[in-house]
Structure 1
Amino acid sequence: MLAIIIPFYKLAYFEETIQSLANQSDQRFKVYIGDDASPECPKKIIEKYQDKFDVNYYRFNENLGSKSLTKQWQRCIDLSKSEKWIMILGDDDVLGSNVVAEFYKTIPIIDKEEIKVVRYSSQLINDKNENISTAYTHPRIEKSTTFLIKKVRSQTRSSLSEYIFNKEKVLQVGFKDYPLGWHSDDMAVLEFSDFSTIYTINEAAVFVRFSLLSISGDLTVSREKNKAKFLFYYSLLSGKFFSKDQVQILFPKLFQAYLSDKKQVMYFLRITGLCIKSGEILGYIGFLKSILHTFSKRTKESFNVK
């Protein structure tokens, strides 16, 4: 059975999310809504649709998402029961009407291949439900490390809502608690798949909302996002999950995290240690040159040197 878990906080597009569940051609799922002590009450909307599908609503007394988004995800997962599979659906994202039906069609393959992570095609929408991207599709079978490199190179995209995870694996591994949950979904895809295989369902789509109300569209939290970026790439490069060529693509992302916030001296020290340990000497020299270039430029500007 499939559990669709909605960590709730924003009411703005919530009914459209709920309506997309009512529209599912296959109703073999249960919905668990975890209200993160929101100032906006979703009860009227939930009551409106409670006869359409099996829904369980719980309001938490403490707002946890503002402190740790991943811990809010986890306590919402804990609301679920014996379901084998879970989808964590954003409270503003929308499912295509055949998402559940296509999942059940693939169960025999998923079980045979021992797949732990299932992915859908996706498309970005705005606050007016207009498509603002082309449809993103993926290889039917793809290594999660290959996917990550493609995402780093802006050749694809993903977000938490378009995945279904094996619940046992989620509970075993857990989500990495990065600031704002930024990159926590990327790491989840890698770890929940054991850095191995993702199975894609391209015949159904998840429509992901991009607006100023979403973290993706919020430009005021850049420092927190940058911290998450550093922690994510540092963790990846500290392991041995990627080929030498892939590592060459990942290291610049780690360097950028420091260059975007040079007050973080610890970033510099950890990068230095990692480069020495991994033998990334040429990349490290280029990194030092970037620091010196930036310092020289700022010094000239401060003295108004042309």
Structure 2
Amino acid sequence: MLAIVIPYYKYSYFNATLDSLANQTDKRFKVYIGDDASPTNPLALLETYKHQFDFVYKRFASNIGNVSLVKQWERCIDLSANEEWIMLLGDDDYISANFIEEFYKQIGDIHASNVHVVRYATQIDKMDDKLSRVFMHPKIETSPDSFYRNIFNSSRSSLSEHVFKRTAYLKHGFRDFPLAWGVDDFAWLEFTEFKNIYTINEAIAYIRISSESISRKGYREEQKLKAKYLYFTLIIEKFINKFKKEQHYKLFRYYEKLVYRSNTISFRFWFLLSKFYLTNAYVLQFFKFQIRVVVNKFFKS
């Protein structure tokens, strides 16, 4: 069975989310809605869906998402029962009518692939109501390869298009980065234990970008940068060897730029990158790196 967990706060597009669940061709799912003390109570809206799909609704007494979105996700997941698979669906995102049907059509292959994370094809629903192209993925791909493609803009990823095993969630949990920025990307690495993700390209998750979305440009960019710096530091310091050797150079350079942008130059940073350049016989790059560190440490305006 599949649990669809919705951390609810924004009312504006919530009806579209609920419509997409009501329109599913396969109703083998249960919805758990955790209301983060939203200023707009959705009970009247939910009443209209009472006989269209099975759901549980709980309004929390206090808002926690403003402090930690991850803690809001966690208490919403705690509402669910013992379903093997969990999906965290944004309160403004929505899914194609065959989303659940395709999950069960392919569940045999999913189990045979021994994966803990399943993802779907996606389209971005932009603020001008235009849909992006469909983003599709390899049927089976390692989570490090997926992360790498996403970082370097040859792919995309967000929370709502993923389904994950409860056992993986209970084992690893979500890391609590600021604004929950990058938490999902890092979770797929850990939930899969840096192994494979299975893709369903035959159904679509629609990811809405609106004036209320955290992912919109210009919104709390300093916090997003801090989050990106934190999870990339973990990648470089602890998990770099989970990535292909030919991917290391670009990952180190990306991290270096993040450090300069976030003004977090440290001895450990200098040592790690110096060691990387010298170990791999990037002698010219090693000397260029020393110059960049000095310029960014002492002469950056």
Q: TM-score if structure 2 supplies the norm length? A: 0.92
Amino acid at match of 2:145: T
Contact 1:120/1:163, CA 8 A, preserved across alignment: yes
Stretch of structure 1 that moved more, 239-248 or 143-152: 239-248
In structure 2, the residue matched to 1:303 is none
Q: 1:154 to 1:218 in 2, by over 3 A?
A: closer
TM-superposition CA deviations, 1:157-188 (whole Å, max 9, x none): 01000000001111111001111011101001
Pick one of 256, 275, 279 that aligns with 2:276: 279
Q: 1:298 to 1:179 in 2, by over 3 A?
A: closer
1:70 CA drift (Å): 1.1
Secondary structure of the 2:51 match is coil
Q: Determine the C-alpha separation between the residues in 2 that align with 1:227 and 1:76.
A: 25
* Identity over aligned pairs, percent: 42
RMSD: 1.8
Q: 1:140 to 1:154 in 2, by over 3 A?
A: same
In structure 1, the residue matched to 2:235 is 236
Q: 1:201 to 1:298 in 2, by over 3 A?
A: closer
Question: Where in structure 1 do 4 or more consecutive aligned residues deviate above 6 Å?
Answer: none
Aligned residues: 294
Give the unaligned 5+ runs of structure 2: none
Q: Determine the C-alpha separation between the residues in 1 that align with 2:140 and 2:12.
A: 36
Stretch of structure 1 that moved more, 289-298 or 73-82: 289-298
Contact 1:229/1:254, CA 8 A, preserved across alignment: no
Question: Is 1:80–2:64 an aligned residue pair?
Answer: no
In structure 2, the residue matched to 1:185 is 184
In structure 2, the residue matched to 1:250 is 251
TM-superposition CA deviations, 1:100-149 (whole Å, max 9, x none): 00000111111122111001000000245421x21000111111111111
Q: TM-score if structure 1 supplies the norm length? A: 0.91
Q: 1:241 to 1:295 in 2, by over 3 A?
A: closer
In structure 2, the residue matched to 1:59 is 59
Q: What pairs up with 1:125-140 in 2 under 5 angstroms?
A: 125-127=125-127, 129-131=129-131, 133-140=132-139
Q: 1:222 to 1:24 in 2, by over 3 A?
A: same
Give the unaligned 5+ runs of structure 1: 300-306
Secondary structure of the 2:262 match is coil
Q: 1:288 to 1:225 in 2, by over 3 A?
A: farther
In structure 1, the residue matched to 2:40 is 40
1:298 CA drift (Å): 5.7
Q: 1:232 to 1:295 in 2, by over 3 A?
A: closer
